Amino acid sequence: MGDNESLKRLTEALKKAEVGAEEALRLLRNQATLDMGFARLDSARGVLRFFPEVVLARGKSAAEVVSIVDRLHRETGFAVASRVEAEHAKPLMDEFPRGEYHPRAMVFAVGKPEVERMEDEGSVGLVTAGTSDNRVAEEAGVILELLDVEVGRYYDVGVAGIHRLEKVLPELREAAVLVVCAGMDAALPSVVGGLFAGPLIAIPTSVGYGAAFGGVSALLSMLNSCSPGVCVTNIDNGVGAAAAAVRILRGTGTKR
Amino acid sequence: MGDNESLKRLTEALKKAEVGAEEALRLLRNQATLDMGFARLDSARGVLRFFPEVVLARGKSAAEVVSIVDRLHRETGFAVASRVEAEHAKPLMDEFPRGEYHPRAMVFAVGKPEVERMEDEGSVGLVTAGTSDNRVAEEAGVILELLDVEVGRYYDVGVAGIHRLEKVLPELREAAVLVVCAGMDAALPSVVGGLFAGPLIAIPTSVGYGAAFGGVSALLSMLNSCSPGVCVTNIDNGVGAAAAAVRILRGTGTKR
Amino acid sequence: MGDNESLKRLTEALKKAEVGAEEALRLLRNQATLDMGFARLDSARGVLRFFPEVVLARGKSAAEVVSIVDRLHRETGFAVASRVEAEHAKPLMDEFPRGEYHPRAMVFAVGKPEVERMEDEGSVGLVTAGTSDNRVAEEAGVILELLDVEVGRYYDVGVAGIHRLEKVLPELREAAVLVVCAGMDAALPSVVGGLFAGPLIAIPTSVGYGAAFGGVSALLSMLNSCSPGVCVTNIDNGVGAAAAAVRILRGTGTKR
Amino acid sequence: MGDNESLKRLTEALKKAEVGAEEALRLLRNQATLDMGFARLDSARGVLRFFPEVVLARGKSAAEVVSIVDRLHRETGFAVASRVEAEHAKPLMDEFPRGEYHPRAMVFAVGKPEVERMEDEGSVGLVTAGTSDNRVAEEAGVILELLDVEVGRYYDVGVAGIHRLEKVLPELREAAVLVVCAGMDAALPSVVGGLFAGPLIAIPTSVGYGAAFGGVSALLSMLNSCSPGVCVTNIDNGVGAAAAAVRILRGTGTKR
Amino acid sequence: MGDNESLKRLTEALKKAEVGAEEALRLLRNQATLDMGFARLDSARGVLRFFPEVVLARGKSAAEVVSIVDRLHRETGFAVASRVEAEHAKPLMDEFPRGEYHPRAMVFAVGKPEVERMEDEGSVGLVTAGTSDNRVAEEAGVILELLDVEVGRYYDVGVAGIHRLEKVLPELREAAVLVVCAGMDAALPSVVGGLFAGPLIAIPTSVGYGAAFGGVSALLSMLNSCSPGVCVTNIDNGVGAAAAAVRILRGTGTKR
Amino acid sequence: MGDNESLKRLTEALKKAEVGAEEALRLLRNQATLDMGFARLDSARGVLRFFPEVVLARGKSAAEVVSIVDRLHRETGFAVASRVEAEHAKPLMDEFPRGEYHPRAMVFAVGKPEVERMEDEGSVGLVTAGTSDNRVAEEAGVILELLDVEVGRYYDVGVAGIHRLEKVLPELREAAVLVVCAGMDAALPSVVGGLFAGPLIAIPTSVGYGAAFGGVSALLSMLNSCSPGVCVTNIDNGVGAAAAAVRILRGTGTKR
Amino acid sequence: MGDNESLKRLTEALKKAEVGAEEALRLLRNQATLDMGFARLDSARGVLRFFPEVVLARGKSAAEVVSIVDRLHRETGFAVASRVEAEHAKPLMDEFPRGEYHPRAMVFAVGKPEVERMEDEGSVGLVTAGTSDNRVAEEAGVILELLDVEVGRYYDVGVAGIHRLEKVLPELREAAVLVVCAGMDAALPSVVGGLFAGPLIAIPTSVGYGAAFGGVSALLSMLNSCSPGVCVTNIDNGVGAAAAAVRILRGTGTKR
Amino acid sequence: MGDNESLKRLTEALKKAEVGAEEALRLLRNQATLDMGFARLDSARGVLRFFPEVVLARGKSAAEVVSIVDRLHRETGFAVASRVEAEHAKPLMDEFPRGEYHPRAMVFAVGKPEVERMEDEGSVGLVTAGTSDNRVAEEAGVILELLDVEVGRYYDVGVAGIHRLEKVLPELREAAVLVVCAGMDAALPSVVGGLFAGPLIAIPTSVGYGAAFGGVSALLSMLNSCSPGVCVTNIDNGVGAAAAAVRILRGTGTKR
C-alpha cells in the first residue's frame, strides 16, 4: 500500500525528471531492500495467513505472558497461549475478563482471530490412546475450534483393547484429517494408519515412565510406523499438530 | 463379493427356514469373524486404497527381492521397490524386462498401479537443501509420478545461500504440498515453513558427518522447527513422505 | 447377551421375510461391525481375563485418581492403583473406607477381583538386590496377593555379598516364577538365572545415581544377561512383572 | 561320584577314629569348599537342565566355531550354534556331516540333546510383524524344535493390515506361550498382548532404518507396551526367547 | 618481582661464593620450579589478560557466592557472577551496595575490571531467534559491556519470519563479531552465516520442549551448520561466547 | 552491474515517459524481486566473499566429484574438495593434470581462488594432541594455505606429556588464531586456552575407540572446556575450522 | 561357631557310629550347603575386610536412614552414611549425639570401625579441578580419615590455570594414591596422569551445565584419558574412590 | 645431566663474576624455561617411568606402524604396538625379525624395556567372563609380561555358571591386583569385587550384540557395580588396565 504509493511517487518524479537517474537508482535500490523485500510479501502468503502465533506460557512468568498476550491482542485483535498453568491463568483472567481459559487443554485465548474457512472444509478427528494423552489432544482441539475448524474427539481407544477402536472407526473415517496422540509404545497410529486413508498426524506424548524417556519411546515408534505416510510432530506438540491440520485443510494450493 | 454371496445365501436360507435361529446365529457369528471382519472392509478404505505396498530392497538378497516383486506384480498388476542397489537392479531388469529402474531414486517398478486421481488435484513440490539430499527426494518423486501425482523439483536451495530459495519461491507456492529434504542442520524446512502456508512434510536425510549422527541432528532440528505445523518422517524416508503427500492429496474425507 | 438377542430377532425377521435379503445383508454387516466384532470376544479371552486394569496414580491429581478408582470399582467390584503417593492415599482412604493402602508398595485397592486360580498353581518368588529395590518388588507382590497368588519374598540378596543369595537359594527354587528386582549393575538376575531353571522376570529399578541413568544401566545389563532366557520389563515396572507372572501361572494354553 | 567316594571314605575314617574331630572338621570344610560347593549342585538344577549352551558364531572365525562345537558335541552329545554365516556353515558341514544347517534360522546343530518333556506340555507360537523379522523367529523356532518343543508359525501379521492378525488369532490362542518378533514401531506385541492372556515374550528386531536405530525403537516400544505383562529380550535375541519359553514350559516349580 | 629479587640475591651470593655450586644448583632448581615456572609467566599472557574469572552462582549457596565474589573483588578490584538467581541477588546487593544486578542477564558485578581496548576495536552484534533466547544473549551482552566492548542487540529475528532478519541485516553487517543465540531448530546461525562474512559464534539455548532435549537439538543443528565457519559454545553459555568474542577482538596476535 | 544497467535503462525510460507509472511499478517490483533481492547483494558480502565452497568428496562417486569440481573450476577458476580418497584422487588428477592432491590432508585443489588478504594479517597456528589428529589439522592447513593464509604447525603436543606443549608455547603465542585438534579426552584445548589469550577454535576428532564414540567424547569435552571462550566445530571438521579462522582474520567489520 | 559345634557333634556321632555313612553323607552335604558355604568364608577375606558398608542417605527418609545406621552401629560398632542432607543430619545427630556430621562432605559417622593399617602405608592425595568438585573429594576424604588413612588435599588446581597444579606437584608426588575429581572437560586427570607414576583414580563430577550432561562429559573424558592407566569411578562417587584407594593401600596380596 | 652441567658452569661463572647479575638472571630464567622446566623433570617421575608408550596400530597403515615402531625402538631400545591386525603383523615381522607377534593378544613387541621391579612385587590376576573376552585380557597380559610382571590367567568364569568362579577363587585371592574383563551384563566384577579385598580393575568389552551397544552396557554396569571400589577403564582397553596395574604394583609412593 504505502509501498505502492511511494513507488508511484518516485516513478512520477522520475518522469518529471525531478531526480537524476543515479539518484533514482539509489532510491530504488533502497526502496527494494527496505520496503519491497520479499519478506513482507511472504508474510501475506505464509504460515501466518491461516494460523496465529501461539504464545508458549511455560517457562515464562505470569507477567511476561500477560504482556505478550496484551501486545498480540492489541495488534491483531486476538491472542492465544498454550501450556498455561494455574499460576498464569489467574492473572490472565484478571487482565482479560473476556478471555477464556480451557484448563484441560491449558489454553487461554482472548478475542477472535480472522479465519478463512474453505468451502466444503472437512473436520479433524482427535484420537488418543489413553486418558493421559487427552491434555495434548485438547491443546490441539481447543486451538482448532478457535479457528472454526470442526473437531471430533475419539479418546481412550488404545490398542491394548482394540475393540474400543473398532467402535469409533466408522466415524473416524469421516474426518478429513486425523491427529493421533499416544505415549509409551505409541502403537495406535500404526493401527489407525492401516485403517484410514487420509492424512494422519501423530503426536508422541510424554506419558509413561522409565524407558518411555519422556516421550522418546513414543516418538521413535511413530517415526518408524509400519503404516506408510504417518507424519510426526514434536513430543506433546498439540499446537504443532493443529497447525499441520490447518495447513492441510486450508493451505493446499488448489483450494487457496 | 464372495462374502456378499454367502451372506445372501444365508439370509435366503433363513427366510426359507432351512436353518434354525440358533444355527443361523452360530453361522452368522462365524461369518462375521471369519469373512466379514472389519479388517477386510478396512483394507478397502485403508491406506492401501491410495498407496501401494513398497518393497524395501535394502537388506534383502536379489533373489528375495525378485520373488516378492514377482508375487506383488502377479497379484496386483504392479510392484515397486525402493533402495534398489545395482546388485538388485540387474536381476530385476533381467526378470522384468518391461520394468523401469530409476538409478538416482534407487526405485524399480513394473506394471501400472490402479490410481484414483482427485478432481483439481494439486501438485507436490520436492525441495532439497543440497544435491546430496536429492536421492531421497527422488525416491519420493518417482513413486509419486508412478501414482500419477504431478511433481515439481526445486533442488539445492539450502539456506546458506538464501537467494537460491528466493528464486524458486513463487513457483513453490503453487504446490498443494511441499516435501522438504535436508540433512545436517536441516534449517530449510523452518525457513520454507514461514513462507508457505500449505502442508509441509520434512524428511531428515542422513547427509553429513560427525555430529550429524546419521540424520539425528536433522531429525531433531525438524521436530523442533520454529515454523508451526512442519510434519516429520523417518530419516531418508522418501517412501513415507510420498505416502503422506498422497494421503493429503487424495485421502481427505471431504474429497473421497 | 443383547447381541445374541438382536441377532435372534434379526434371524426371526428374516425367516418371517419381514426384511428383504439386501436389507438383511446391510443389517448383518452392521451388526458384525458394531456388535459382533472379534474385539469383544477377545476381551473375554484377553489379558483382562486374569489381570485387572491398574490405575497409574503418578501424574494424576488426587481427584482424578479417586474418580477413576470409583468408576472401576462400581463397574467391576474392584479397583487397584499403583504409585499412590501420600497425597493420593488420604483422599482415597476418605472416599473408600474399606479400601487398603500399602504404603511400602504405594498400592491402593478396594473390593475384590474375580480370580480364577489354577489347580496346583505355583508361587512367585520376589527377589531384590538391595533394600532400595523393595518398593518395586512390593508393588508386584501386593498386586499378586490381591489376585490370590502365593508370594515368597527374598530381599536384599545382591551379589556383592553372595552368601546372602546362597542362603535363600533352596527356597527360591521352589517357586514357579521368580521376579528379580535390581538397580545399578543389575548383576543379580544373571547369577540367579544360572541357578534357577524356571521363568525369571527381571525388573530394572531406578536405584543408583550418576551413570545409573535412572535405571538405564540396570535395564541394559538385564537385556544382556549372560544367563539365557531372562525376560525384562520396563524400569520400576512392578505391575508389569506381576502381569507377566500371572500370564505364566494362569494363562498358558494347556492349563486354561 | 568321586565326591561321594571321598566323603564315604572320610566318614568311614571318622567312625574308625582314624582322624580326630578337629582334623575332620578341617577336611570337611575343605571338602565343602572344593568339591561339594553348591555350584555343582546348582548346575544340576540350573538353567542348563532344560536349555543347552548355544554357541554364538558371529564374531568368531570358522575354525573357532568348529572347535567349540566339536568340544561341546564330544562332551554332551549335542552342540548348537546361532548366527552361523555361510562362511561358518561350509566348514561345519564338512566337519560334522551328520549335522544340520538351517540357513533361514542361521542355526547349525549336531547330535541330539537330552530333553525332559513335561506332561501335557503346550506349544510355542512364533509371531512376526513382517517377513524381515522371520530370521529371528526361526532362530527361536529351530532351537525349540531341537528341544522337542511343539512350534506354530504365524508370520507377517503386522498391525498395518490388522486383518492378517485376525485370521490367525484363534490358532494363536491355543499356544501356551507366544514369541512375538517385530522391528520398527513394534506395535504388534501390544495388540497381541491385549488379545492373548498367556505369557508373551517380545523380541525387538533390528529391522528398519534411520530412527529405528538398529532395533532400539522396537526395544523401547516393547518395554513400554500398553498391554501389561509383555516381557522383552535383547534385540534379535531368538536364542534368549527360546530359553525363556523353555523356562516357562518346563521349568515352573509345580511341574518339575 | 620478588622472584627477580631472590634471583638477584642468589646470583650475588654465588658471585661472593657464599654458597657452593652444588648448593646453588639445588637452590636454583627449586627456584625454577617454585617461582620461575612458565605458568606464572603464562598467566600474564593467558586468557585472564583480557577476560576475568566469572563466578557461576547456580548450584552454589548465597553465602558461597558472596564469599567468592568478596575474595575476587578484594584481590582484583572487580568481581562478576553469572546465573545469579533472585536468592543470590538480594544478599549480594546487601553486601556490595555499589554492585549492580542485571536481572534479565542474571549477572551481578561489582568494581571495575582492568581493560585493554584495542585501537579501532569493532563491536559485537548479539542476535536472538526468539525472545526466550534473550536471557542468554544478555548474559553475554552485560559481561561484554562491563569490559567496555561495544554491543549491538538484534533480538527476535528468527527464520520463521525471515523479513525480521532482513530488516536488521545492514546493521548486523557492521559488527566485527556476531553472537547468535537460538534454541529448538537453531536455523538462525545457518542463515546469518550465509549473509555475514565475519566471525560468528553460535550459542545453543535450552529453549524448547520435548525433542529439544534441553538444548541438544539446537547444539547439534549448530555443529552441523551448512554455513561454513560457524563456531559453537556450550548450551546457554553466554559467558563463553563473550570470552570468545573478546579473544577475537583483543587477543589476535597482530594486534597485541 | 547488469542490474545497474537495467535499472538505469528503466529510470531513463520513466523519465522519457516511455512507460506508464503503473507499468513501471510492476517492472520495478519484479526487478526488486528477481534481480535486486537482498540475497544477491548478500552473496557479495556473505561468507563466500572470503571462503570458497568446498566439495565434500566422501559419499560421492569419483564421477560425481569430478563433475562438480569441473563446474566450480569453470565458473570461478578454482575448485577444492575435501575427504578425497585414493579412489577419487586418481580420476581427479587424470582430469585436472594441473591440480594438486594433498594425500595427508585428503584435499584436492585446482586453480587459484581470488583472495583478499588483510594488511598485517596474522597467522593460524595448527595444534594437535597426537599424530592421529594430524589429518584433520592438515585439512584445515592445506585449505588455509590455498587461501594465502600463513600457517604454523605444532603437532603431537598432547597433555599426557606436557613438556612437549611447553616447548612450542612461545611460538604458539605469536599466532593470531589457534586451531586445536584433539580426540579422546580432548584436554589439550583447555590447557592451551589457559595459556593463550587469542581466538581458539577446537576441532574434536574421531580418534580413539570404545567410549570415544567416534568423537563424541572429545566434542563434549571441548564444549565444556574449563578455559573460557573455546569455540567448537563439528567432529573432524577441518574445513569448518579453516572457515572460522578466515572469518576472524579477514571478516571482522573494522578491517573490511 | 555354631557351625563348628554342629560339625564336631557330627564327627563325634560318626566316630561313635551313631549314624551310618550314607546318612552322614547326606547330613554333611546339607551342612556344607547351608552352613559352610564358601560365601561366609568369603566375607572374611572380601571387600568388607577393609572397607565398611556405607549407607546412601539420598532417596531415603530420615527415619529409614536413622534405622539403618542404628542397626549397623549396634551390629558392628560403627556406621557411616553418605549424601546426608540437612534433613537427615538433624535427626541423626539427635539420635546419635556422639556421631559426627561433616556438612561439606555430607557424611555422617558414629562409632569407630575396625581398621587394619599396613606397615609403611602411604597417603592418599585428593585433587580437585575446581571448588565445586570439593564436596565429592571430601566425601572420599572424610571416609578415608575415618579408616585412619592419611589424606592430603590439593583443591582447585584445574588446568585452565596450570600454574596452580605446578605449585602442588612435588607434594602430590609423595602420595601413594591420587584421587582426582573433575567435572566439565575433566582434563585434569590426563595432565596429572602424565606427571605422576602411581595409581590414579578419577572421579567425574556432575559439575557443569548444558552439554556437561550431569557428569557424562567428564566421565567420557576420563575413560578416554590420553594418560595410560587412569581408572574411573561412577559420577560423583566419592565413596567408591575411597574404597578403591583402600583396596590399593591395604588389599594387595603381597601385603596382606 | 647436561642440565646439571650447564647449571654448574653457570654458577661457576657467576662466582667468578664472569657474568653480571642481570645477565645471570636472564640466563637463569631461560635456563629454567627451556631446560629445567618441570616437564622434563616430570617425565623422569611420570607415567613413562614404569610404563612404555604403546602404539595403537588400528586405524594406521602398516607403513605408519612400522615407521613409528622403528623410531621408538631406535630411541629407547623397545617398542610395543597393540591392536595389530594380520595386515600389520606381516610387515612388522619382516622389518623386525627379532620381534614377537602375539596373535591372540594382537600385540607386537621388539626389544626389551627398562624395568624396575619392586621387591616382593605381587602378581596380576586376569579374569574373563567368557572366551570372547580373552583377547582383551591377553592384550593386558602380554604387555604386563613384557614388563616382567607376574601374571595369572583365570578365563571363562562368568556368573551364569558360578561354580566356575568358585574353583579359581582361592588362587585369585593370591593376586595383588585383579583385572576383570566382561561384556554384556558385566556382572562378574561385582561378584568378584565382593569376594576379593584387593584392587580390582574392570575392563568392559565390546562383546555382545543388540542392546550391548558395543560395550556400553558392560561399561555402565561396571561403573554402577554394587561392590565398592571397582575401577573402570575404557571399553576393550587392555593397555590401560595393564598401565593401571603397573601404577599400583610399582608406582605407589611408599615403595618408590
Look at residues H84, H144, H58, H239 and name the one whose alpha carbon lies nearest to residue H96: H84
pLDDT at residue C40, rounded to an integer:
31
Q: Which residues contact G40 (CB under 8 A, 6 or more apart)?
A: C163
Is residue E172's pLDDT more than 60? yes
The answer to whether residues G134 and G233 belong to one domain is yes
Lowest mean pLDDT across A104-108, B10-14, D51-55, E121-125: B10-14
On whether the CB atoms of residues C11 and B28 are closer than 8 A, the answer is yes
The C-alpha atoms of residue B176 and residue B155 are separated, in whole angstroms, by: 17
Is residue A132's pLDDT more than 60? yes
Q: Which residues 182-211 of E have a C-beta within 8 angstroms of A? A: 207, 209-211
pLDDT at residue C80, rounded to an integer:
96
CA distance D97 to chain C (A): 28
Q: Which residues contact H167 (CB under 8 A, 6 or more apart)?
A: H157
* 3-state DSSP assignment of residue C36: coil
pLDDT at residue F148, rounded to an integer:
96
Average pLDDT, chain C: 85
- Interface check for D224 against chain C (CB to CB < 8 A): the answer is yes
Strand boundaries in chain C, DSSP class E: 54-56, 78-82, 100-102, 107-111, 124-128, 151-154, 177-182, 200-204, 230-232
Report yes or no on D73 lying in a domain: yes
pLDDT at residue C42, rounded to an integer:
35
Report yes or no on H57 lying in a domain: yes
**Domain carrying residue D58:** 32-111
Residue the block writes with cell 568438585: G133
DSSP G150-178: -EEEE-S--GGGHHHHHHHHHHHTT-SEE
The answer to whether residues B134 and B231 belong to one domain is yes
Of H46, H77, H111, the position where a domain reaches its end is: H111
Q: Give the residue from chain D lying closest to A227, CA to CA.
A: D160
Q: For residues H114 and B34, which has the higher predicted lDDT (pLDDT)?
A: H114
Is residue F139's pLDDT more than 70? yes
Nearest to E198 among F197, F240, F252 (CB): F252
The answer to whether residues A107 and A130 belong to one domain is no
The C-alpha atoms of residue C174 and residue C179 are separated, in whole angstroms, by: 13
The C-alpha atoms of residue F56 and residue F83 are separated, in whole angstroms, by: 6
Q: Which residues contact F113 (CB under 8 A, 6 or more apart)?
A: F52, F76, F77, F78, F80, F146, F147
Report yes or no on H96 lying in a domain: yes
- Write phi, then psi, for H124 (nearest 5 degrees): -110, 125
Q: Give the residue from chain F lying closest to H205, CA to CA.
A: F210
Report yes or no on A23 lying in a domain: no
The answer to whether residues G69 and G137 belong to one domain is no
- Mean pLDDT value across residues C22-33: 45
The answer to whether residues H176 and H97 belong to one domain is no
Percent residues over pLDDT 70 in chain D: 80
Strand boundaries in chain D, DSSP class E: 54-56, 78-82, 100-102, 107-111, 124-128, 151-154, 177-182, 200-204, 230-232
Residues of A in Cβ contact (< 8 Å) with D193: 160
Is residue F189's pLDDT more than 70? yes
The C-alpha atoms of residue B199 and residue B192 are separated, in whole angstroms, by: 11
Decide the pairing of beta strands E78-82 and E54-56.
Answer: parallel
Look at residues B171, B172, B190, B187 and name the one whose alpha carbon lies nearest to residue B229: B190
Query: CB–CB of B209 and F39 under 8 A?
Result: no
Alpha helices in chain B (DSSP H): 2-15, 21-30, 38-45, 62-76, 86-95, 134-146, 162-172, 188-195, 216-223, 238-250
The C-alpha atoms of residue B202 and residue B232 are separated, in whole angstroms, by: 5
The C-alpha atoms of residue F210 and residue D80 are separated, in whole angstroms, by: 31
Nearest to B210 among F33, F46, F234 (CB): F234
* Interface residue of C47, C56, C69 to substitute, partner A, most A CBs within 10 Å: C56
Q: How far apart are the first and last CA of chain F?
A: 22
Q: Please, which residues bridge with residue A108 across strands? A: A81, A101
Nearest to C248 among D47, D166, D199 (CB): D199
Q: Identify the chains in contact with D, defined as 3+ C-beta pairs within 8 A.
A: A, B, C, G, H
- Interface check for E34 against chain H (CB to CB < 8 A): the answer is no
- Interface check for F225 against chain G (CB to CB < 8 A): the answer is yes
Look at residues A153, A139, A129 and name the one whose alpha carbon lies nearest to residue A234: A139
Residues of A in Cβ contact (< 8 Å) with E212: 234
pLDDT band (50, 70, 90) for residue A39: very low
DSSP A144-178: HHHTT--EEEE-S--GGGHHHHHHHHHHHTT-SEE
Residues of E in Cβ contact (< 8 Å) with B211: 220, 223-224
Query: CB–CB of H224 and C218 under 8 A?
Result: yes
What DSSP state is assigned to residue F178?
E
Whether this prediction's pTM lies above 0.80 is answered by yes
pLDDT digits (tens, 9 = 90+) for G63-77: 999 999 999 999 889
Report yes or no on A164 lying in a domain: yes
pLDDT at residue E39, rounded to an integer:
31
Is residue E43's pLDDT more than 80? no
Report yes or no on G20 lying in a domain: no
- Interface check for G16 against chain E (CB to CB < 8 A): the answer is no
Q: Which residues 133-162 of B have a C-beta within 8 angstroms of A? A: none
- Order of all β-strands in the sheet with C107-111: C54-56, C78-82, C107-111, C100-102
The C-alpha atoms of residue D104 and residue B48 are separated, in whole angstroms, by: 29
- Mean pLDDT value across residues D86-102: 96
The answer to whether residues G107 and G142 belong to one domain is no
pLDDT digits (tens, 9 = 90+) for A180-234: 999 999 999 999 999 999 999 999 999 999 999 999 999 999 999 999 999 999 9
D188-195 and C38-45 helices cross at what angle (nearest 10)?
A: 70
Query: CB–CB of A184 and D211 under 8 A?
Result: no
Query: CB–CB of B208 and E224 under 8 A?
Result: yes
pLDDT digits (tens, 9 = 90+) for F147-162: 999 999 999 999 988 8
**Burial category of F231 from C-beta neighbours within 10 Å (exposed 0-12, middle 13-18, buried 19 and up):** buried
pLDDT at residue D44, rounded to an integer:
44
* Interface residue of E8, E15, E31 to substitute, partner H, most H CBs within 10 Å: E15
The answer to whether residues D128 and D211 belong to one domain is yes
pLDDT digits (tens, 9 = 90+) for B81-130: 999 999 999 999 999 999 999 999 999 999 999 898 888 899 999 999 99
Beta carbons within 10 angstroms of residue G96's beta carbon = 19
Beta carbons within 10 angstroms of residue F95's beta carbon = 16
The C-alpha atoms of residue B173 and residue G88 are separated, in whole angstroms, by: 65
CA distance D133 to chain B (A): 12
CA distance F140 to chain G (A): 23
Report yes or no on A214 lying in a domain: yes
- Mean pLDDT value across residues F239-250: 96
What DSSP state is assigned to residue D77?
S
The C-alpha atoms of residue D168 and residue C112 are separated, in whole angstroms, by: 35
- Interface check for D219 against chain C (CB to CB < 8 A): the answer is yes
Is residue G256's pLDDT more than 80? no
The answer to whether residues H68 and H137 belong to one domain is no
Q: Is F240 left (phi over 0), alpha (psi -120 to 50) or beta?
A: alpha
User: pLDDT below 70 — which residues of chain H?
Assistant: 1-47, 253-256
Q: How many separate domains does chain F show?
A: 2
Of D90, D111, D132, the position where a domain reaches its end is: D111
The C-alpha atoms of residue H167 and residue D38 are separated, in whole angstroms, by: 12
The answer to whether residues A241 and A131 belong to one domain is yes
The C-alpha atoms of residue C242 and residue C239 are separated, in whole angstroms, by: 5
Is residue B35's pLDDT more than 60? no
Nearest to F209 among H38, H39, H236 (CB): H236
pLDDT digits (tens, 9 = 90+) for B87-101: 999 999 999 999 999
C-alpha Rg value of chain C to the nearest Å: 23
Look at residues H41, H85, H78 and name the one whose alpha carbon lies nearest to residue H59: H85
Q: Kind and range of the H or E element at D138?
A: helix D134-146
The answer to whether residues E202 and E151 belong to one domain is yes
The C-alpha atoms of residue C235 and residue C220 are separated, in whole angstroms, by: 10
Average pLDDT, chain A: 85
B-C C-beta contacts closer than 8 Å: 59
Of H77, H111, H145, the position where a domain reaches its end is: H111
Is residue C25's pLDDT more than 90? no
Report yes or no on A16 lying in a domain: no
The answer to whether residues G36 and G83 belong to one domain is yes
Decide the pairing of beta strands F78-82 and F107-111.
Answer: antiparallel
The answer to whether residues A101 and A201 belong to one domain is no
- CA dihedral sign, ordered D223, D229, D235, D240: positive
- CA dihedral sign, ordered F163, F167, F173, F175: negative
- Interface check for A234 against chain B (CB to CB < 8 A): the answer is yes
pLDDT at residue E166, rounded to an integer:
85
On whether the CB atoms of residues B144 and B152 are closer than 8 A, the answer is no
Letter string b/e over residues E178-195, b meaning 16 or more CB atoms within 10 A of that residue's CB:
bbbbbbbbbbbbbbbbbb
Q: What is the amino acid identity at position A159?
A: V
Nearest to H162 among D39, D216, D234 (CB): D39
Residue the block writes with cell 555313612: G21
Following CA atoms F60, F63, F69, F73 in sequence, which dihedral angle do they give, to the nearest 10 degrees?
A: -170
* 3-state DSSP assignment of residue G50: coil
pLDDT at residue A59, rounded to an integer:
86
ipTM above 0.90, yes or no: no
Give me the CATH number covering residue F236.
Answer: 3.40.50.1970
